[in-house]
């Protein structure tokens, strides 16, 4: 059963009534999963991280397509997500990264979910539940190797693993850690975390291990271990800061032009008059704003450039602040027959990468993908090529 949002499947607006449309290419996600799998060393399983509604692409729809492609293991953040996913994939291995919530062990067990145990209290509760039912259920254990977020510090992990009363009642099936600086390949913390993870788990060669997120896949085979769990790269995002992005885009957002207007030189544009027209301009006002996930920080001012859209081969810059429901685009150089009322402008997709927009908004492409609004008409299909033919 697909995960529901504020519009039920029967009440989501038709495309004709929506300000924008969001196209999701499930085959492109599958292509990215195959690309990531091919980067892994022999013997490493390629799982999929599908938390946050599969980075905005639809949890169950995306996971089902990946399962068809051969993916067998999935990581989510919350037990709610895991329960939705279990309805769609009854036989998949599902890990819950946020761990075991108090008093919920029976729910995890009934749905065959594997908590990633992040603390001693979680381990104690899972162990007690398994002991009471005399069932050594599977769970992962998270080791904090330098992120200082979730997980056991290496010395505590060693104590826990030496305590048969704690770990003897359940089956530790996976050791997990998370790279803090993987997107920066030369960052010294990557090697420190790798060495710490190896040292902490060396006594348990029989238990599978997972360190590589999307960035870890591209850091090389030393980081791959037994299971890689890519996220952002599946959805076309850029895992490493330097270099080009080998992944194909998977989403396309287009917004409807509400009005095309002429603006005289020296006129102020948008809230706060942040942008001044330096020449006579034509602006297209489009029906997408920060309520739809287009971050206000990506707007432009007289001091700073902003993001951009794409219209029939033309890069059209954002002019002024992004409002809740709309933004202005500079279509001065676009033929009037093209930039007209009702036409859709690409705001994210093959010609406008989320990683490019993220630069203007001083953020990362994760925020764009996971924050795409719910007012768009959502559809699944093929994105097509960039307008330069690639």
What are the start-end ranges of the E strands in the chain? 20-24, 45-46, 48-49, 73-76, 93-96, 114-117, 138-142, 171-176, 209-210, 227-228, 251-263, 268-269, 275-276, 281-286, 308-311, 314-319, 327-330, 344-348, 377-380
In Å, what is the CA distance from 331 to each residue of 283, 334, 361?
6, 5, 21
Q: Of the candidates 389, 369, 364, which has an alpha carbon nearest to the alpha carbon of residue 22?
A: 369
String of DSSP letters for 113-139: -EEEE-SHHHHHHHHHHHHHHT---EE
Distance of alpha carbon 43 from alpha carbon 36, whole angstroms: 14
String of DSSP letters for 229-290: ---GGGGT---SSSS---SPP-EEEEEEEEEEEEE-TT-EESGGG-EE-SS-EEEEEES--G
Distance of alpha carbon 165 from alpha carbon 63, whole angstroms: 36
Distance of alpha carbon 227 from alpha carbon 240, whole angstroms: 19
Catalytic residue among 95, 129, 209, 271: 271
* Whether residue 380 lies in the annotated active site: no
Q: Are 29 and 235 in contact (CB under 8 A)?
A: yes
φ, ψ (nearest 5 deg) of residue 253? -115, 130
* Whether residue 51 lies in the annotated active site: yes
φ, ψ (nearest 5 deg) of residue 164? -65, -25
Q: What 3-state class would DSSP assign to 28?
A: helix
Catalytic residue among 51, 238, 252, 275: 51
Residue in the structure block whose two tokens are 């913390």: 189
> Looking at the annotation, which residues are catalytic?
51, 271
């Amino acid at each position: 059963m697909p995960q529901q949002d504020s519009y039920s499947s029967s009440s989501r607006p038709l495309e004709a009534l929506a300000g924008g449309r969001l196209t999701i290419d499930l085959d492109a996600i599958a292509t990215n999963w195959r690309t990531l799998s091919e980067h892994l060393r022999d013997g490493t399983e390629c799982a999929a991280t599908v938390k946050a509604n599969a980075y905005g692409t639809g949890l169950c729809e995306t996971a089902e397509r990946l399962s068809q492609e051969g993916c067998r293991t999935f990581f989510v953040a919350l037990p709610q997500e895991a329960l939705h996913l279990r309805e769609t994939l009854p036989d998949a291995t599902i890990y819950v990264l946020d761990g075991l919530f108090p008093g919920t062990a029976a729910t995890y067990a009934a749905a065959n979910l594997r908590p990633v145990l992040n603390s001693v209290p979680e381990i104690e509760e899972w162990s007690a539940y398994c002991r009471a039912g005399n069932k050594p259920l599977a769970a992962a254990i998270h080791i904090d190797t330098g992120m200082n977020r979730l997980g056991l510090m290496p010395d505590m992990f060693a104590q826990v693993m030496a305590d048969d009363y704690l770990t003897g009642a359940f089956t530790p099936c996976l050791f997990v850690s998370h790279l803090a600086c993987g997107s920066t390949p030369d960052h010294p913390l990557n090697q420190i975390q790798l060495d710490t993870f190896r040292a902490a788990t060396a006594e348990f060669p029989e238990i599978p291990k997972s360190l590589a997120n999307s960035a870890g896949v591209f850091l090389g085979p030393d980081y791959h271990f037994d299971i890689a769990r890519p996220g952002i790269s599946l959805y076309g995002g850029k895992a490493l800061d330097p270099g080009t992005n080998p992944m194909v885009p998977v989403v396309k957002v287009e917004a409807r032009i509400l009005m095309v207007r002429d603006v005289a030189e020296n006129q102020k544009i948008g809230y706060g008059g942040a942008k001044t027209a330096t020449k006579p301009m034509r602006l297209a006002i489009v029906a997408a704003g920060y309520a739809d996930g287009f971050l206000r920080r990506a707007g432009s001012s007289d001091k700073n450039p902003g993001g951009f859209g794409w219209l029939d081969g033309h890069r059209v810059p954002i002019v002024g602040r992004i409002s809740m429901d709309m933004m202005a685009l500079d279509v001065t150089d676009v033929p009037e027959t093209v930039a007209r009322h009702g036409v859709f402008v690409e705001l994210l997709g093959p010609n406008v990468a989320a990683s490019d927009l993220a630069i203007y908004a001083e953020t990362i492409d994760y925020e764009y993908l996971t924050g795409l609004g719910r007012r768009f008409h959502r559809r699944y299909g093929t994105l097509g090529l960039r307008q330069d033919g690639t």
